[in-house]
A = this chain, B = another copy of it.
Amino acid sequence: MTLDPNQHLTFQAKFVEATLETLLATQALPDETVRPPRLLAAMRHGALNGGKRLRPVLVMEAANLFGRADDGVLQAACALELIHCYSLVHDDLPAMDDDDLRRGQPTVHKAYDEATAILAGDALLTLAFDVITGEAVHADAAVRLRLSRELARASGIGGMAGGQMLDLESEHRERSEAEIRQLQSMKTGALLRYACRAGAILADAAEADVDRLTRFGEVIGLAFQLADDLLDVEASAETMGKATGKDAEAGKATLVGLWGTDRTRNELGRLVEEAETLLAPYGSRAAILSALARFIVNRTN
């Protein structure tokens, strides 16, 4: 019997959704006298939108691989997802990607307004650090600090935010393979790497295992981006009758653009193999992570 990763993801995503719902409840937390309703509604719009929850599920699966599955893991997983959600809210703004729709719903600045969307992103980002420093995350304060600090590094100027800057700058400009790799390892790679690494740290895995999961996160981060770029080329080739998609239109340099689809598909195959090799020592306990890696490569949306 084979595992359907899509089904598994949907199931785990429900836990994530329920936890995010609690974190974004109307009731103010201690030290908060009030949560302004409009801001809270905009944050909920940006976070409770039925996403795939790939990053938090990776945290959960990586932690489970080393024997931990509890509310503290979910809290840490949701802190990471809050970062991802804030980045989408800000990336959709008119000054950035100027998107009106996300998953078929109006983006936050469309449903509310730009000022509210900026603040909602800021508040989601800030809430992530509230959540990741919470006591449930890990009994050892030093471990909570490590997770908090690495989350800041993965999402700041040297990680996701820096990658988004490089991406904005890469429009209508030639980029070398090394530059594209750098951009992608920061923009999308850093959070996926953190997800797998944080799971292992949460479960007190040995440092060698933390390193192994970190590399696994890097490999699926690369695969995720290549699959994304392929989808962009191929979806538009099918639906729009031409071989170039949104990235090419925006003049964004991608590895698919440099390599073509055949070489890209070969590289994807190689990455899946590397992911499998990394998980091999864990045997069948890593079946879900392994399936997730293949899912990332083969996804169609």
Compute how far the CA of A286 lies from the CA of B95 in the bound complex, rounded to whole angstroms.
47
Compute how far the CA of A152 lies from the CA of B125 in the bound complex, rounded to whole angstroms.
9
A163 to chain B: closest residue by CB: B36
Tell which of B36, B119, B158 touches A32, judged by Cβ atoms closer than 8 Å. B158
A42 to chain B: closest residue by CB: B165
Within residues 151 to 197 of chain A, which ones have a CB less than 8 A from any CB in chain B? 151-159, 161-162, 164-166, 168-169, 182, 185-186
Tell me which of A10-18, A127-135, A200-208, A256-264 binds B: A127-135
Interface size (A, Cβ < 8 Å)? 61
Whether B96 and A115, one on each chain, are in contact in the complex, defined by CB atoms closer than 8 angstroms, is: yes
Question: Beyond A36-B162, A126-B157, A148-B148: 6 further Cβ-contacts under 8 Å?
Answer: A36-B169, A40-B157, A95-B114, A122-B125, A133-B145, A145-B145
Whether B130 and A149, one on each chain, are in contact in the complex, defined by CB atoms closer than 8 angstroms, is: yes
Most chain B Cβ neighbours within 10 Å, of A118, A151, A185: A118
Chain B CB within 8 A of A240 CB:
no
Whether B156 and A123, one on each chain, are in contact in the complex, defined by CB atoms closer than 8 angstroms, is: yes
Pick 13 A–B contacts, CB within 8 A, sort by A: A29-B153, A31-B153, A32-B158, A35-B157, A38-B165, A39-B161, A95-B113, A119-B161, A126-B152, A126-B161, A127-B156, A129-B148, A141-B145
Chain B CB within 8 A of A294 CB:
no
Residues of the B chain whose Cβ atoms lie less than 8 Å from the Cβ of A36 = 157, 162, 165-166, 169
Residues of the B chain whose Cβ atoms lie less than 8 Å from the Cβ of A19 = none
Most chain B Cβ neighbours within 10 Å, of A113, A125, A161, A169: A161
Whether B122 and A90, one on each chain, are in contact in the complex, defined by CB atoms closer than 8 angstroms, is: yes
A152 in contact with B127 given A90-B122, A157-B43 (CB within 8 Å): yes
Residues of the B chain whose Cβ atoms lie less than 8 Å from the Cβ of A34 = 158, 162, 182, 186
Query: Shortest beta-carbon distance, A117 to chain B, in Å?
Result: 8
Chain B CB within 8 A of A28 CB:
yes
Residues of the B chain whose Cβ atoms lie less than 8 Å from the Cβ of A145 = 133, 141, 144-145, 148
Chain B CB within 8 A of A116 CB:
yes
